[in-house]
Amino acid sequence: MPENLVSIEAVSKTFPGAQVPALNNISGVIRAGEIYGLVGADGAGKTTLLRLMAGLLVPDAGRITVTGLDSVTKSDLIHERIGYMPQRFGLYEDLSVQENLRLYADLRGVTGEARAETFGRLLRFTGLAPFTKRRAGALSGGMKQKLGLACALIRKPQLLLLDEPSVGVDPLSRRELWKMVGDLVDDGIGVVWSTAYLDEAERCDTVLLLNEGELLHDGSPGELTGRVEGRVYLISGIAEEDRRGVLAGCLKHEAVMDGVIQGKKLRLLVEEGKNLPDLPGEADLAVPRFEDAFIDILGGTEGGNPALTADMKSVRISDDGPVIEAKGLTKKFGSFTAADNITFEVGRGEVFGLLGPNGAGKSTAFKMMCGLLQPTAGRARVAGLDLKTATSKARSRIGYMAQKFSLYGELSVQQNLEFFAGIYGLTGRERRAATERMIDIFDLEGYASTSAILLPPGFKQRLALASSLMHEPAVLFLDEPTSGVDPLTRREFWNHINSLVERGVTIMVTTHFMDEAEYCDRIALIFRGQVVATGSPDELKSASGAPDASLEEAFIELIERESGEEPV
């Protein structure tokens, strides 16, 4: 039996001003040579528990020991034995990769020959050796996470704490991170991997599932997924244009606890003891996923929310051509070509996804389509308007939600909504009505006077989406809209998005979450600045040579085939 690195005994923590505890009577152990998944929604208590284990917070009740040391009285000694990678990129963006490593080596007392050997080992381990002179702020998302991991490993720890290390990271980089962590575990290190991505929970030896400060499960992933065996179905044979409407109807049925679009199929979770409702198409039992069990243990998701589009008129666009059109879009930054001859079309009421590894050029293409970047060559049209010659008029038809929270942090929720209503030309009674409507639809009433910067992550994303919809746009651009948010919030977002599509709104979305990409009608896969594949999620799976593979597996296969590199 591996040794216990961490012992958590009836730990509770409540922050000043909070009405409920961040953690309530949590107990458990972390053993050497295993990966522990610390899993839960936003506000579940994951980061609080990690910081308590790291000796950065003091529990209100209970006790934590790390490698036999009390986390309160021996925190300095604990810091020497652990590695900790915080949720937000905690390195110095103005320093190079090499300079960040030197700084952390100074802080951890790694000097002389040991320093040179450590740097060489970590640069090989992370694949960052060719980038030692690059400024940390200029790294891609995946490379930033690898640098953060390297700095956490400057001194070999007995315990490695990783707080959501894969947020905003593409599938290729995510797989590389998992391989690196797996190698550390093989070397006897204990790892705690915090995540809101539930497919990652399935890769862990043990899962600690938290919700609102309560521990719901402590055991293997399989022990939890077993609870929904025989209750998960894949529904096939539904016309593609009917999928969203059928899903919305299913979510209103009392027997259905959860439902998502999975390519051409629907995936439904049925409540225990109840029967699947009568549906068009054919129903087959599916292998349960951890996400199914997570939704089940929380009591299911809420049904579709038609309030967003209840009073919204169907979108009408005078031009009969494509709603979004890219022709030969090229963008150069000096001698570097970020986007190269990108061409695609998107029809009315279609959800179109731009996928690709970090640094592939999809964000550049996305920003040109929104009118935020002018192309070096080529043309972008939205709702029949050329973004170069009719920029202002085109933007009045567009809603835009940025990848990073881009609203005004010092303004309250209500002030942000009123400001964006004004930006989109709403005044007087119309502006007040739109603001009140968005506060009601997105359940922001309790936060109306709260500064946006203080909102929980899920509510920040709600506010950002609400702000982009104030003027009922015909076209909506969503740049990684659910990055870092939990599955419940993700479901809520896509219920809203699906209802918009039913009204004829055209959606363009970027995402690193492959299950989310299944909602797209079509996807353009971008690599090294070019479109290398286009098609529906199922068509991309077929193109990868494995029609029954997951979209993530297809993504990795297509990119590796294009790059000519061997799988990691």
pLDDT tens sequence across 339-388? 999 999 999 989 999 998 877 888 889 889 988 889 999 999 998 888 88
Confidence tier at 568 by pLDDT (50, 70, 90): very low
Q: What is the mean pLDDT of the chain?
A: 87
Percent of the chain predicted with pLDDT > 90: 41
Q: Give per-residue pLDDT as tens, 522-549.
A: 999 999 899 999 999 999 999 988 877 8
| Angle between the N-to-C axes of helices 551-563 and 171-186, in degrees from 0 to 180, rounded to the nearest 10 | 100
Give the containing element (helix H, strand E) for 539. Answer: helix 537-543
Helix, strand, coil % in the chain, rounded to nearest 5: 35, 25, 40
Residue 191 β-bridge partners: 35, 160
Bridge partners of 332, per DSSP, are 337
Is residue 465 within 8 Å of residue 493, measured between CB atoms? yes
Phi, psi (deg, nearest 5) at residue 286: -115, 155
pLDDT band of 565, cuts 50, 70, 90: low
Could you tell me the two tokens for 528?
């090294």
Segment 137-143 mean pLDDT = 79
CB-based contacts of 464: which residues, under 8 Å, 6+ apart?
401, 402, 405, 406, 407, 481
More confident residue, 242 or 394: 242
- How far apart CA 147 and CA 176 sit, in angstroms, is 13
What mean pLDDT comes out for the span 122-139? Answer: 88
380 phi, psi to nearest 5 deg = -125, 130
Q: How many CB atoms lie within 10 A of CB 276?
A: 15
Residue 110: CA atoms inside 13 Å, Cβ hemisphere, count?
Answer: 19
CB of 37 closer than 8 Å to CB of 195: yes
Dihedral of alpha carbons 350, 351, 355, 358, sign: positive
- 470-523: per-residue pLDDT in tens? 888 889 999 888 876 777 778 888 888 888 888 889 999 988 878 888 889 999
Question: pLDDT tier at 314 (50, 70, 90 boundaries)?
Answer: low
Distance (Å, whole) CA 14 – CA 43: 12
pLDDT of residue 484: 62
What pLDDT digit, counting tens, does each position of 16-65 carry? 877 789 999 999 999 999 999 999 877 789 999 999 999 999 999 999 99
Q: What is the pLDDT of residue 310?
A: 62
pLDDT, tens digit, 9 for 90 and up, residues 170-181: 888 888 888 888
Helices (H) and strands (E) in the chain, counts: 19, 24
In the chain, % of residues over pLDDT 70: 94
Q: Quick one: DSSP state of residue 312? A: P
The answer on pLDDT for 138 being more than 90 is no
Measured CA distances, 436 to 412, 414, 415 (Å): 14, 9, 11
Question: What does CATH list as the number for 321-397+473-563?
Answer: 3.40.50.300
Give me 67's structure tokens: 């490698």
Nearest-angstrom CA–CA distance, 20 and 212: 8
Tokens of 174: 């995510």
Q: How far apart are CA 249 and CA 235, in angstroms?
A: 14
In 187-277, DSSP assigns E strands to 190-195, 206-211, 214-219, 232-236, 256-262, 265-270
**Looking at residues 277-281, what average pLDDT do you find?**
85
Q: What is the CA radius of gyration of the chain?
A: 24
Question: What CATH number does domain 4-217 carry, 3.30.420.40, 3.20.19.10, 3.20.20.70, 3.40.50.300?
Answer: 3.40.50.300
349 contacts: CB under 8 Å, gap ≥ 6:
315, 501, 502, 504, 505, 506
